[in-house]
Structure 1
Amino acid sequence: MRFRTLRLLDRIGSSSVPLVAAALLVVGAIAGGEVASTAARNLSYQLVNEDGLPSVDIELAIAVDVSYSVDIDELLVQRIGYAEAIVSKEFLQALNAGPNRRLAVTYFEWSASNDQKIITRWRLIDGLESAEAMAAEIMETPVRQGSRTSISGAINFAMLLFDKDPYRGPRRVVDISGDGANNEGSPVTGARDAALEKGITINGLPIMMKPNSSMMDIDDLDLYYEDCVIGGPGSFVVAVRDRDQLKQAIRTKLILEVAGRTMEHRIIPAVEREPRVPCLIGEKIWQSRSRW
């Protein structure tokens, strides 16, 4: 399988150019004329597509890990990060740069293969008012936790959500955050490949803020996400190692996804090779743990 991955500031906070600055560069490029002019966008603006369904620039499913390995404080930071990101000026600028100037988005939380909870159903975001409504819904929902980590379950659930999406766009993207490898449900590579066959792109936000805090942790979770989880045109990973940078990472990733951009100087071509981290490592660790 060949696809391109993007690793943004592999060690967040270590670069002289923080993630938000990178996102601002993308927004600046949009505002500077690298997208169609306002007149051209007005000509291409469509309320509905050929099937009579409302047209959007992207269908985005946000999938957030709430397994017990993610503590309550981290869950709250993630919630705040997404809520703040979708109402930010930079995000709305990226949204307004698309030909339809609107997107469809749903937000759900996941843990085990049969444990997914929709926090916000498919919503049309076309400006600040609709973005604020979604942000409020995200923040008003009680925080919860679940057992096990099934990335494959999250991907499979996202595919079902796309089937029910009342909007249509040229891009379908699953935005997955998580702090561990798949350890329950079907193998993650099978779910990934099924999503890619449907034309769905998967991006990742591996959370690596507490290395070796439990026996289920793995080294190089970012490489695991790159080789075993993400895929599709322009797919990328934003690895988070610093708690203080989590909200910035979320904001940057959403801006890039909405803008449909990648930062070419950070793209690493995938080659035909064995994964650098075994894609069944989570299942093997869980099996070993169960024998203790």
Structure 2
Amino acid sequence: MFKVLVFILAFSILPARVWADEDVDVELVLAVDISGSMDIDEARVQRSGYLNSLRHPDFLNAVKSGRLGRIAITYFEWAGRISEGSIIPWQVIDDAGDVQAFTTKLQARPIGTQRATSVSNAILFGTSLIDTNTFSGERRIIDISGDGPNNTGPPVITARASALARGITINGLAIMVRPSVSFGPLDRYFGDCVIGGPGSFVLSVHEAEDFAVAIRQKLILEVSGRSPPAHLRLANEVRTDCFMGEKLYPGFLDRTYPELGR
């Protein structure tokens, strides 16, 4: 009996966050594309855009505008697979010191690119980060950037359905600085095949110098919970082939896709 009592007392003095989820306004995953179709200069501009946006006073003001005035945020980079060395663990943001700590970690990460583009793996990994964290957010969001359609890994529509089934919203940043002639408008692909959930939206970047402004606008909308402008919410009628990326690579016809009925 004494041993049982000691066990109970020992655990009763642990910090509250061990026992219960920590309430935040938003659980936000930043999933950033570093696929080889982006050159190193674009990757640097994108990284700078995230750093500047997170450090901008408007971002922290948006955080403080929430009911609780704090969010939980994590970051990782992806291409055909997840770049494990890029992952910044979950951190609560509720003051300028937290922002500085988070962005210092991000700035220290080396910048590079990798092969292939798996939007689906990025969504699935982001979903797992949300499912396994110790936070309880009023909203749960995966914020995914990309400069091309899914061309490896599971179908993107399957990954999206898995996230949406868990109550996660997916927003997109379509990087269209060097648009490919191999497929249609990337923002339309993101709107039809990638984003989803309440208030989901797509922002487009057409010029390298627009990265910082677009990223800041996206983060403020996500953190504040404001409704995105109508021009950022694409029509619900699907007009895009969500397998356009896979079809550009050899072996597509040899794979089984239940989503296509074969």
- TM-score w.r.t. the length of structure 2 is 0.85
**Relative contact order (C-alpha < 8 Å, sep 6+): which is higher?**
1
Q: Which digits, 9 at most, give the CA deviation of each residue in 1:29-57, with x for residues without a partner? A: xxxxxxxxxxxxxxxxxxx89x7221110
Amino acid at match of 1:147: R
1:183 and 2:148 correspond: no
Percent identity over the alignment? 44
SS at match of 2:51: helix
Conserved 8 A contact 2:76-2:83: no
Which residue number corresponds to residue 220 of structure 2? 255
Shift of 1:81: 1.1
Which residue number corresponds to residue 89 of structure 1? 57
Distance 1:269 1:285 in 2: 25
Could you say if the C-alpha distance between residues 153 and 71 of structure 1 is closer, same or farther in structure 2, counting changes exceeding 3 Å? same
1:244 and 2:212 correspond: no
SS at match of 2:23: coil
Could you say if the C-alpha distance between residues 278 and 269 of structure 1 is closer, same or farther in structure 2, counting changes exceeding 3 Å? closer
Q: Which digits, 9 at most, give the CA deviation of each residue in 1:144-173, with x for residues without a partner? A: 221110000000111111122122111110
1:149 and 2:117 correspond: yes
- Uncovered stretches (5+) of structure 1, i.e. residues with no partner: 1-47
Which residue number corresponds to residue 231 of structure 2? 266
Conserved 8 A contact 2:86-2:109: no
Conserved 8 A contact 1:113-1:152: no
Amino acid at match of 1:121: P
Q: Which digits, 9 at most, give the CA deviation of each residue in 1:224-273, with x for residues without a partner? A: 000000000000000111111111100110000000112344365744x4
Could you say if the C-alpha distance between residues 189 and 117 of structure 1 is closer, same or farther in structure 2, counting changes exceeding 3 Å? farther
Bigger Rg over Cα: 2
The runs of at least 4 aligned residues of structure 1 exceeding 6 Å deviation read: none
Q: Which digits, 9 at most, give the CA deviation of each residue in 1:48-100, with x for residues without a partner? A: 89x72211100000000111111111111111111111121111111111111
Conserved 8 A contact 1:55-1:167: yes
Distance 2:84 2:93 in 1: 23
Distance 1:108 1:120 in 2: 6
Distance 2:116 2:101 in 1: 31
Which residue number corresponds to residue 165 of structure 2? 197
Q: Say what the alpha-carbon RMSD is for the aligned residues.
A: 2.1
- TM-score w.r.t. the length of structure 1 is 0.76
1:287 and 2:250 correspond: yes
- Uncovered stretches (5+) of structure 2, i.e. residues with no partner: 1-15, 253-262
Distance 1:173 1:103 in 2: 11
Conserved 8 A contact 1:116-1:154: no
Distance 2:154 2:242 in 1: 12
Shift of 1:115: 5.0
Distance 1:218 1:64 in 2: 21
Distance 1:145 1:269 in 2: 29
Conserved 8 A contact 2:149-2:189: yes
SS at match of 1:239: strand
1:206 and 2:205 correspond: no
Aligned positions, number: 237
Which residue number corresponds to residue 139 of structure 1? 107
1:229 and 2:194 correspond: yes
Could you say if the C-alpha distance between residues 268 and 258 of structure 1 is closer, same or farther in structure 2, counting changes exceeding 3 Å? closer
